[in-house]
Amino acid sequence: MLLEILHWYFKEKLEELSAIMNEDDTQQQLDTDGMDLDDKLRSKNGEMDVDQGFSRHDELVKNIGKVVRDLRSIGFTSMAENAYASAIFLLLKAKVHDLAGDDYRTSVLGPIKEWIQTVPLQFLNALLSFLGDSVRYDTTPSGLTSPLACCPSPSFSKMVTPSQGIVRWKLRLEYFAYETLQDLRIAKLFEIIVDYPESSPAIEDLKQCLEYTGQHSKLVESFISSLKYRLLTAGASTNDILHQYVSTIKALRAIDPAGVFLEAVGEPIRDYLRGRKDTIKCVVTMLTDGSGGNANGSGNPGDSLLEELMRDEESQENVGFDDDFHTDDKQAWINASRWEPDPVEADPLKGSLSQRKVDILGMLVDIIGSKEQLVNEYRVMLAEKLLNKTDYDIDTEIRTVELLKAILHSFSSL
């Protein structure tokens, strides 16, 4: 009962502290907007009077510190620490949810980390300074010194020499924030991919979160479940499934350029499409018509998926050419330092991560079975188009044939 009361007490005080910080930031921004250049420079260099802005903050922290100190004096040290720690994490979770929302066109990871620095860490730093007992936070619950506490982070901007306890708190809070945002984005990954590429900032945030937490398997399991429930159903048209599949490939290769996790996610889609009779025709139509592989029409008007794939291939070749002729020894060392082994989920028969690339056309052809089947289907479709023409304008058809020949390595049958 007492723990619950303390939890809600600290939660209320931290919310009050967060509101004070927000008010101060807003007022500071308004004051700065009304300053001339000299005043702005003095404000930036800390020459302006800021005592009044921090008085409420300091008074609030002092009051909280007195409560914690009194609880320690009567033997409730662990209870007090657990109470304000749970309140901090609860407030952080609410902040992540508030910033993330359903807007996938803006990155939120930066503002979240800035808020962690501004509110919880400033509070903890002030609280530990008031209590004068920061050393005790350098140990884990088992009493052993945490190895994480031995590596102070250079990213602290407002604390010149942060204690090991603050460093550990920063690591804990950032990991919790990454994991919370990751779970939110994974839960909405289907919607994010539908909006891709407009939702690229959300994809980039998710990529950074997964790099930090390493919980890629959670993404795979959750997204496969969403696909089976929302996409791979009798009510979804083959065209819609194919367009979502192409968007999935584009979005997930931004997260995992090697395509390791895309293979696992794409397998249920490929298996389902192989059971549909119109899959081959829909694949060929999507490749050769002007939708650009985007169901929402976000591609260039008149562009086919073939043209888009051709541009991607040319850009990759140019990058490869530049890498071959402009990579010096320094860059080679940089590349070597960034090398990472393949994930344990990777198929060793697919080649190494550094040599493997996601091939959209190859994944579409894999659904059909072979390139020959794709060519045969296009031959039938082309014949129908030519027979239905009322003039001799076949420039579009000629360009499509040339693109198809180029991207399929010059099939002579065409």
Q: What are the tens digits of pLDDT across the range 306-344?
A: 777 766 655 555 544 444 444 455 555 555 555 455 555
Q: How far is Cα 120 from Cα 64, in angstroms, rounded to an integer?
A: 13
Q: What is the mean pLDDT of residues 273-295?
A: 79
Q: How far is Cα 239 from Cα 412, in angstroms, rounded to an integer?
A: 29
Q: Which domain holds residue 145?
A: 1-19+53-214
Summarize pLDDT for 116-126 with one digit per residue, the tens: 998 888 888 88
171 lies in the same domain as 133 = yes
Tell me whether residue 172 is in a domain: yes
Q: What is the mean pLDDT of residues 388-395?
A: 82
Domain end, chosen from 153, 179, 214, is at: 214
174 lies in the same domain as 65 = yes
206 lies in the same domain as 241 = no
Contact between 56 and 17 under an 8 Å Cβ cutoff? The reply is no
User: Phi/psi zone of residue 289: left (φ > 0), alpha (ψ -120 to 50 degrees), beta?
Assistant: beta
62 lies in the same domain as 2 = yes
pLDDT of the residue at 306 = 74
Q: Which range has the worst mean pLDDT, 154-158, 190-194, 264-268, 392-396?
A: 154-158
**pLDDT band, residue 28 (cuts 50/70/90):** low
Q: Which range has the worst mean pLDDT, 211-215, 246-250, 256-260?
A: 256-260
Contact between 192 and 202 under an 8 Å Cβ cutoff? The reply is yes
Residues sharing a CB contact under 8 Å with residue 243, sequence separation 6 or more, in sequence order? 286, 291, 293, 294, 295
Tell me whether residue 340 is in a domain: no
356 pLDDT higher than 60: no
106 pLDDT higher than 90: yes
CA dist list (Å): 316 to 249, 310, 366: 17, 10, 22
Contact between 12 and 64 under an 8 Å Cβ cutoff? The reply is no
Q: What is the mean pLDDT of residues 354-371?
A: 72
Q: How far is Cα 27 from Cα 397, in angstroms, rounded to an integer?
A: 63
How many folded domains does the chain comprise? 2
201 lies in the same domain as 246 = no
Rg (CA), the chain: 28
241 lies in the same domain as 195 = no
Tell me whether residue 230 is in a domain: no
Tell me whether residue 84 is in a domain: yes
237 pLDDT higher than 90: yes
249 lies in the same domain as 197 = no
The identity of residue 212, as a single letter, is Y
**pLDDT band, residue 71 (cuts 50/70/90):** confident
Three-class secondary structure of residue 145 per DSSP = strand
- Average pLDDT of the chain? 75
256 pLDDT higher than 50: yes
Residues sharing a CB contact under 8 Å with residue 269, sequence separation 6 or more, in sequence order? 227, 231, 232, 241, 244, 245, 248
Q: Which pTM was predicted?
A: 0.74
CA dist list (Å): 261 to 143, 217, 251: 39, 8, 12
